[in-house]
Structure 1
Amino acid sequence: MAIAFTIIVIISIIVFILTIIDNTFLFTNIRKYFILPLLDLGFWAAFIFLFLMVLQSLIAPIPSELVLLSGAMIFGFWWGVILGIIGSMLSAAITYYVSNRGGRSILEATGEKIGLADRMISIMDEWIENWGFWAIVIGRAVPVIMFDPVSYAAGISNIKPKHYYIATLIGSVPRAIFYAYLGYSMLDGNKPSFLETLPQDQFESVSKQFNTIFFVIFGVLVLMLVFANILSYLREKRKENKAK
């Protein structure tokens, strides 16, 4: 996990530096290699989007928040919301299944391969144990809480699958709406095809908005990881002191 996390941090620093040098760098590449190719696929773009939602939860070090954000830029607000909810449910179902069937040993092995924050999962595990249904609802609904650790933690908890899926659905709706709104706001009221022929001044404006949203989201996620590690460390210290 440490190696994968280090790689992600190094890549993020490089992207940050390149974005400072050229403030259109990040959006240029997202638009060129992700948004425009999906816009060209028409009907099939929805399936690729859902596939990416599932993929990022398993092996790709890509925040689901970034995929959700881009969804509204590709499909518009309402379709961005609908596909965001469906994608969230699919990724939540698969990660829950992996965790539930494999147990803690498989979860730890999977976490090492995909770079998940195991301490974040540990915090979520305890949270779900204490609060059950509502812990999952809040974990889904609050945009700054990492999405996938909630699924993995739920899989090793005692919560019933029916309650897990209902809580996931309830929490996924406001989360999808939030990120769809952010993505759609960058279209400035235009259709997604507007992104194909952006004038230079508007391109720079959208790039700045995208940079701001992306780095705020990424920064909050990093802070959540740091907070989870500190909290987990303090909890382990308390256990050690009690054992003495």
Structure 2
Amino acid sequence: MGFITDFIKEYGLFAIFLIIMLEYACFPVSSEIVLPLSGAVASINNIHFLVILPVSVIAGLIGTGLCYAIGWFGGAAIINSIIRKFPKAEKSIKASYEKFNENGAWAVCIGRVIPLIRTYIALVAGAAKLNPATYFPSSFLGITIWNTLLIGLGYSLRENYDRVASYYQRYKHNLIPVIFICFVYLILNRILKKRKNKKIESQT
């Protein structure tokens, strides 16, 4: 990470934009390090928080858009390859994608604040042909929440931005299960409502 630290410190806003974009484009760059560092550098260089945050969100949207496009145009080939090798998997795969399309907005938004899932959700959304009008607003919301949290911590801590790692560990082990439970609850609640509405329609 020494190179990334030096790159950000030397080139400032341009470097921050580029590295955040690459991170959201599925390059092996850790947002848990890059975003707090970006906030710290911005704070030390008197770059206003309301400047660094929009820059990071735009970079994130461009990066995730690249992954989404790769999933959109290349995902089908990958899925078809799996189906050819394992024909019995076809029904399960189609059912999974239908569920994703039904709950795509929630999946994308909440997935944005869960490590690993938050980056690669773009490929799944693209492969599932999730409507761009659903994908990008949901991504915007999730990216804004995640970037605000991590850049904000780095911005506040300045030279002590590396303390974010310890806060992140607490978040990862305590908050993620809560988010996951909420996510499952929302999906189940939505499914039950749909079934209830179908029953009412069939009875009328």
Q: 1:96 maps to which residue?
A: 68
Q: 2:153 aligns with which of 179, 182, 197?
A: 182
Whether contact under 8 Å (1:72, 1:184) holds in the other structure is: yes
**Structure 2 gaps, min length 5:** 44-48, 82-95, 181-204
**Structure 1 gaps, min length 5:** 1-29, 110-123, 188-194, 196-205, 228-244
Matched, 1:212 2:183: no
User: Percent identity over the alignment?
Assistant: 20
Whether contact under 8 Å (2:33, 2:165) holds in the other structure is: no
Judged with a 3 Å threshold, the aligned counterparts in structure 2 of structure 1 residues 178 and 74 are, in CA distance, closer, same or farther, namely: same
Distance 1:75 1:135 in 2: 31
Return the offset for 1:167. Answer: 1.4
Q: 2:21 maps to which residue?
A: 54
Matched, 1:163 2:134: yes
Matched, 1:74 2:36: no
Return the offset for 1:180. Answer: 1.4
Distance 1:108 1:79 in 2: 44
Distance 1:60 1:129 in 2: 26
Distance 1:127 1:36 in 2: 44
Distance 2:106 2:63 in 1: 19
Amino acid at match of 2:52: G
Matched residues, number: 157
TM-score, with length taken from structure 2: 0.61
Return the offset for 1:158. Answer: 3.5
Whether contact under 8 Å (2:24, 2:119) holds in the other structure is: yes
Return the offset for 1:40. Answer: 2.8
Return the offset for 1:47. Answer: 2.6
Whether contact under 8 Å (1:85, 1:172) holds in the other structure is: yes
Judged with a 3 Å threshold, the aligned counterparts in structure 2 of structure 1 residues 158 and 131 are, in CA distance, closer, same or farther, namely: same
Distance 2:36 2:107 in 1: 24
Amino acid at match of 2:41: I
TM-score, with length taken from structure 1: 0.52
Distance 2:134 2:143 in 1: 14
Distance 1:60 1:169 in 2: 19
Q: Alignment RMSD, CA only?
A: 3.3
Whether contact under 8 Å (1:143, 1:178) holds in the other structure is: no
Distance 1:207 1:171 in 2: 22
Distance 1:64 1:126 in 2: 30
Matched, 1:132 2:104: yes
Distance 1:85 1:108 in 2: 33
Judged with a 3 Å threshold, the aligned counterparts in structure 2 of structure 1 residues 208 and 133 are, in CA distance, closer, same or farther, namely: closer
Judged with a 3 Å threshold, the aligned counterparts in structure 2 of structure 1 residues 127 and 176 are, in CA distance, closer, same or farther, namely: farther
Return the offset for 1:55. Answer: 2.5
Amino acid at match of 1:159: L
State the SS of the aligned residue for 2:28: coil
Amino acid at match of 1:48: A
Whether contact under 8 Å (1:68, 1:80) holds in the other structure is: no
Whether contact under 8 Å (1:98, 1:107) holds in the other structure is: no
